[in-house]
Amino acid sequence: MDTASGTQQPAVDPPVDGGQFAIEDMAAYARQVARGDTVLIFDTTLRDGEQSPGATLDDHEKLELARQLSRLGVDILETGFPIASPGDWKAVHRVAETVGRETRVGQDGSPLPPPVIAGLARANRKDIERAFTATEPAVRPRIHTFIATSDIHLEHKLRMSRNEVLETVGEMVEYAVSLCGDVEFSPEDAGRSDIEYLKQVLEVAIQAGATTLNIPDTVGYTQPKEYEALFRALIEGTPGGRDVIFSTHTHNDLGLATANTLAAVSAGARQVEVTINGIGERAGNSSLEEFVMGLYTRPQFYNLRTNVQTQEIHRTSDMVSRYTGMVIQPNKAIVGANAFAHEAGIHQDGVLKHKRTYEIMDAETVGLNQHRQGLVLGKHSGRHALRTRLDELGYHMEPAELNEIFSSFKELADKKKTVTDADLEALVADEVYQPKETWELVNVQVQCGSNLTPTAVVILRRLDSGEEVTDAGFGTGPVDAVYQGINRIVGVENTLVEFVVQAVTAGMDANGDVTIRIEVPDRGRDMVETAQGRVRRRLFSGRGVDTDIIVASAKAYLQALNKQIASEAEAAPLGSMI
C-alpha cells in the first residue's frame, strides 16, 4: 500500500526522485541552519521510541510509520540501530531506499527534500559500518555515533579514561566522515558530564568533521534552566561551536523532557530529537507534538518555526499508538482524548461565547476534527465512496487491498449504523497491516454467565497450508477461555502482561479496540539489546478491533502471537548482536 497526501498537502504522484536534494557542502549547510530560525525536527520514534518495552515494530510497520512521519514533515528520521540485529539493519535500509529518496511537498506547496535517514552507531568501526550501509541508499544519509562522557559512565560502564574517550571520539568521527558527509555526534549522558571536558570532546568531534552535536540528557536529570545554560555555554565556549548545529535529546524521567527541549532552542539549539506521543526509553522522550505546538502557539515568545504539517499530527499519533500498542493517556497534551474536551459547565459556556476563553489552539490545527468527524459512511455506501474516503484520509489502496477492506467495511456497516474515519483507520490497521501472519482467526464462540465455567471454541487457519484447526478452552473469564483455546492450537508459551479495552467511537454499537502485551519466557534468543547496552526481555503487542470485544480480544492476541512466532523464526542468538 502506498500512503499519500493528507488534509493539507497536495499529492506527489508518483513520488519525485529527490536526488537533486543531496547536500554537497555539509559545513555550509550546518552554518546556515545554526544561524537561521528553523528548528530541524529529528524524529527518533523508530529508534528511541521503539526502545519502549513492548513497542517492537516489524519492518513493514516501520516503513509505513516512516512514510507517515515523512508526510508529517520531519527533517531527519532516525530509523533504528542497525548493528542491533539483521532485522533492524533491513528496516533502516528499506526506509532509506524508499522514503529516503522521495520528495515531499512543503507547507507552501514547494518541493521539500526527502528526510535525512539516520542510523545510530556506538563509536566503533563495526557499528559505524553497519549504520553506513543501512542508510547509504538515502539521498541524505546520516551516521549518528555516540559514546558516554559522564564520569559515572566512564568508570562503571565503559571502563575508559577521559583521554581514551577523547581519542576514540576523534578517530571514530573521522572514520564516519570518511564514509558519509553527514555525521552527528552525541556525548551520552552529557547532562551529567563535566562541562569543561564536554567542550574538549565537542571540539575534537567538530575538528573530525561532525556537523551536528547532540547534547543528550540521557537519564532525564537536568532542569530546564540548567539545560538552557548548558547550551549557551557549549555553543559559545566550544571552538567552532557557532558553525555547527546543536541538538537536544531529552528524557522524561522527571516530566521535563519538553520543557528542557523548549529551553534549549531558546539558547540556540536548531535541532530537536523527539518522538511521537513522547514514547521512548523508560518514561519516554520529549514529545514531537508538544514541542511543535509550543512553537506554533507562542510565535512571539520563540520566534522560531518548523517544517511540520501540524494537521498530520493526530493521524500520526494514532498510527504510532496502534502499531506500538502503546495506548495514549486521555489527558496527554495535544493528542489525548480529553485534550480538546471541555467538561465543566463554566468552560463550555465560555467556549461557546468566545472560543479563545479556554482554548489556546484549534483542534483542526492538529488534524483532530476532520480526522474524527469526517464524511460518515454507512451500509449503503459503495466501493467508490469507500475508496474516495480512504484516499482523502491518505490511504491509497491497491485493488486487492481495497477488496479486502471493502468486505470488512460491509461487515462492520451491517453491525454499526455509521462507520466513521476513526473506524476506517482502525479497520485499515486491523486488516491490511497484519504482521507476517502464521495464524488467522476463522471463528470464536464463547459460553459464559453467572453459574457457568467460561468455555470457548476457537477455529484458526494456518496461512501457509490453509489447514483449519479447532480446539476449546476453559478459563476464569470469556477472554481467558478464548486465549486458552488459542494456546492449545498454536502451542507457544507466553504470559499476558497487559490487556486494555477502549471504544473507538461513542455509542452502544461502538467498535471495541483491544490492546494487549505478552511477555515471552526467557530463553536468551528473545532478548534484545538497546543502544544503552542494556539487555531486556522482548514483549510483543497486539491490537484488534471489532464490535464484539471477545472477537477483538482474540484478534489482538493472534496479532501478538504472530509477531512472537515471526521473531522466534528470525531471531539470532544474542551473542551475534554485540
The closest alpha carbon to 63, from 315, 368, 435, belongs to 435
Quick one: which H or E segment has residue 17? none
> For residue 10, what is the DSSP state?
P
Rounded CA separation 47/168 (Å): 24
Q: Which of 146, 395, 406, 409 binds ligand KIV (CB under 6 A)?
A: 146
54: contact with ligand KIV by CB under 6 A: no
Total residues at the site for Zn ion (CB under 5 A)? 1
Rounded CA separation 229/214 (Å): 15
48: contact with Zn ion by CB under 5 A: yes
How far apart are CB 307 and ligand KIV at their closest, in Å? 22
80: contact with ligand KIV by CB under 6 A: no
How far apart are CB 430 and ligand KIV at their closest, in Å? 32
How far apart are CB 251 and ligand KIV at their closest, in Å? 6
Which span sits near ligand KIV by CB under 6 A: 104-112, 213-221, 239-247, 331-339? Answer: 213-221
CB under 5 to 8 A by kind: which of ligand KIV, Zn ion, none does 541 bind? Answer: none
Total residues at the site for ligand KIV (CB under 6 A)? 10
CB under 5 to 8 A by kind: which of ligand KIV, Zn ion, none does 186 bind? Answer: ligand KIV
How far apart are CB 531 and ligand KIV at their closest, in Å? 5
C-alpha cell at 335: 493528542
Enumerate the H helices of 192-312 as residue ranges.
195-208, 224-237, 257-266, 288-297, 299-302
C-alpha cell at 50: 521503539
Q: Decide the pairing of beta strands 212-217 and 245-250.
A: parallel
How far apart are CB 249 and Zn ion at their closest, in Å? 6
The closest alpha carbon to 169, from 157, 177, 180, belongs to 177
218: contact with ligand KIV by CB under 6 A: yes
Q: Measured at the alpha carbon of residue 118, what is the angle toward residues 116 and 120, in degrees to the nearest 5?
A: 170
The closest alpha carbon to 335, from 283, 371, 298, belongs to 371
The closest alpha carbon to 158, from 146, 173, 145, belongs to 146
61: contact with Zn ion by CB under 5 A: no
- Residue 201 vs 429, nearer CB to ligand KIV: 201
How far apart are CB 135 and ligand KIV at their closest, in Å? 16
CB under 5 to 8 A by kind: which of Zn ion, ligand KIV, none does 531 bind? Answer: ligand KIV
Cα-flanking dihedrals φ and ψ of residue 296, to 5°?
-65, -40
Which span sits near Zn ion by CB under 5 A: 47-55, 294-302, 416-424, 493-501? Answer: 47-55
C-alpha cell at 238: 566550544
The closest alpha carbon to 24, from 244, 181, 207, 210, belongs to 181
The residues with which 441 forms a beta bridge, in sequence order, are 460
Q: Which of 54, 82, 216, 435 binds ligand KIV (CB under 6 A)?
A: 216
- Residue 48 vs 289, nearer CB to ligand KIV: 48
235: contact with ligand KIV by CB under 6 A: no
Task: Assign 383 to helix, strand or coil.
Answer: helix
CB under 5 to 8 A by kind: which of ligand KIV, Zn ion, none does 212 bind? Answer: none
59: contact with Zn ion by CB under 5 A: no
Q: Which of 30, 173, 531, 545 binds ligand KIV (CB under 6 A)?
A: 531
Please, how many CA atoms are within 13 Å of residue 361, restricted to the half-sphere of its CB? 25
The residues with which 527 forms a beta bridge, in sequence order, are 537
How far apart are CB 273 and ligand KIV at their closest, in Å? 7
Which span sits near Zn ion by CB under 5 A: 46-54, 305-313, 451-459, 492-500? Answer: 46-54
- Start-to-end CA distance of the chain, whole Å, equals 35
Long-range contacts of 464-468 (CB under 8 A, 24+ apart): 464/438, 468/442
Task: Assign 377 to helix, strand or coil.
Answer: strand
How far apart are CB 286 and ligand KIV at their closest, in Å? 11
**Which amino acid belongs to residue 552?**
A
- Residue 146 vs 231, nearer CB to ligand KIV: 146
- Residue 47 vs 101, nearer CB to ligand KIV: 47
Helix and strand tally (H, E) in the chain? 19, 20
45: contact with ligand KIV by CB under 6 A: no
484: contact with ligand KIV by CB under 6 A: no
- Residue 146 vs 409, nearer CB to ligand KIV: 146
- Residue 3 vs 248, nearer CB to Zn ion: 248
Which span sits near ligand KIV by CB under 6 A: 62-70, 107-115, 214-222, 263-271? Answer: 214-222
How far apart are CB 183 and ligand KIV at their closest, in Å? 14
Annotate 99-140 with DSSP letters as a single string. Answer: GGGB-EE-TTSSEEPPPEEEEEEESSHHHHHHHHHHHTTSSS
Rounded CA separation 141/50 (Å): 20
Site string for ligand KIV, 237-276 (x = CB under 6 A): ------------x-x-------------------------
Which span sits near ligand KIV by CB under 6 A: 27-35, 210-218, 262-270, 567-575? Answer: 210-218
- Residue 48 vs 312, nearer CB to Zn ion: 48
CB under 5 to 8 A by kind: which of Zn ion, ligand KIV, none does 146 bind? Answer: ligand KIV
C-alpha cell at 281: 526509553
48: contact with ligand KIV by CB under 6 A: yes
**Which amino acid belongs to residue 2?**
D
- The owner of cell 490492546 is 515
How far apart are CB 333 and ligand KIV at their closest, in Å? 22
186: contact with ligand KIV by CB under 6 A: yes
The length of the chain in residues reads 578
The closest alpha carbon to 92, from 126, 122, 116, belongs to 116
Q: Which of 59, 61, 188, 519 binds ligand KIV (CB under 6 A)?
A: 188
In sequence order, the 6+-apart residues with CB closer than 8 A to the CB of 136 are 96, 180
Contacts (CB under 6 A) with ligand KIV, residues 334-353: none
Please, how many CA atoms are within 13 Å of residue 408, restricted to the half-sphere of its CB? 20
Name the residues that contact Zn ion, by CB under 5 A: 48
Point out which residues bind ligand KIV (CB under 6 A). 48, 146, 186, 188, 214, 216, 218, 249, 251, 531
